[in-house]
A = this chain, B = another copy of it.
Amino acid sequence: MTSIVRPARPPQPTLEMVAEVAGVSRATVSRVVNGSTKVSPEILASVTTAIKELNYVPNRAARSLASRQTQAVALVVPEDLTRFFGDPYFAAIVQGITRRLEQSDFTLNLMVASSDPRHKTLRYLRSGNVDGALIVSHHAGDEFVAELETSMPVVFGGRPSNADDLGAYFVDVDNEAGAVTGTQRLIDIGRRRIGSITGPIDMPAGIDRLSGFVRTLERVEMPADAVEHADFTASGAAAATRRLLGRCPEVDGIFVASDLMATGALDVLREYGRSVPGDVAIVGYDDSPAATSGPIPLTTVSQPSEEMGYAMADILLRLLAGDEKVPHRTIMPTRLVLRDSA
């Protein structure tokens, strides 16, 4: 017979206990807690006192069970943790979401879930932990999303793959137009052999930026064959750059589909002894901190990532509030930011 070593934790106070101390009914305490106006000043005072005295905090599970809502939303990121932490783009998105959520009493659940079987994530979401979901970095294969949409409102960061799904809500930029601007810059500064390091071709952002690139070169009758695919990581981009340089050594301008990838390209270029922008001009995408953290400040297509996060959260909150006229697509502007690399 052993004694319990762990310090005994006092039971959390309940509504009922507060009611008893304040000498009122549970319902009244509930009203006070939920800020109902229909409560007399004296009772309000005594209940408030009792709450302070007991250090009462409402139990979420009970509240959620009774009210059928959780006051929480999830941010689902179908990527592994390394990518999530490695790309400042995600930091900006989270920042924006957080900024919006702080104005409400919703909390955010981060679900970075690729090593995790998607199935587990879906289970978690569907088990009533959150009222709605935000999804970024959505890949074509992620069909679990469809199922998710049947059980709660969902807002995407970046147009989802199945564009036919007209019911989807998303916040995005015109990726193709952004790519056109970025590519055009390379043409404007006189580059004649222009290549591209693309994002994953299973993501609309990757596809659209590539097609903007191709379209621009075709318009001026330049070859658009110096293209290598990568995965939005610096190391993936480095490898792609090596391939590109091997296949097409005369390249003098590269449109890279993200700033983080551009840093990888920069490293390889340095390794090969090519100066930037002298020998090779580089245009990135995102205008994330990665654009200015390296030795060569990047010329880049700026997208308002933080604002996009904010907008995503805002739309989801409106959806949850039952707002009927929320726009399905929110397109935000891009602009070219000129720095040193092109």
Contact = CB atoms under 8 A, between A and B. Distances in A.
Contacts of A6: 153, 319, 322, 324
Contacts of A59: 65, 127-128
Interface string A181-202: 0000000000000000000000
Number of copies: 2
A276 B234 CA distance: 25
A61 interface: yes
A57 interface: yes
Interface residues of A, number: 48
B5 A151 contact: no
Contact of A81 (B62, B98, B115, B152): B98
Interface in A239-256: none
Contacts of A7: 167
A272 to B, nearest CB: 15
A94 interface: yes
Given A9-B150, A12-B126, A150-B10, A85 B91 contact: yes
Contacts of A62: 61, 65
A12 to B, nearest CB: 7
B91 A88 contact: no
A107 interface: yes
10 contacts: A6-B319, A6-B322, A7-B167, A9-B152, A10-B151, A12-B128, A60-B127, A61-B128, A85-B88, A86-B91
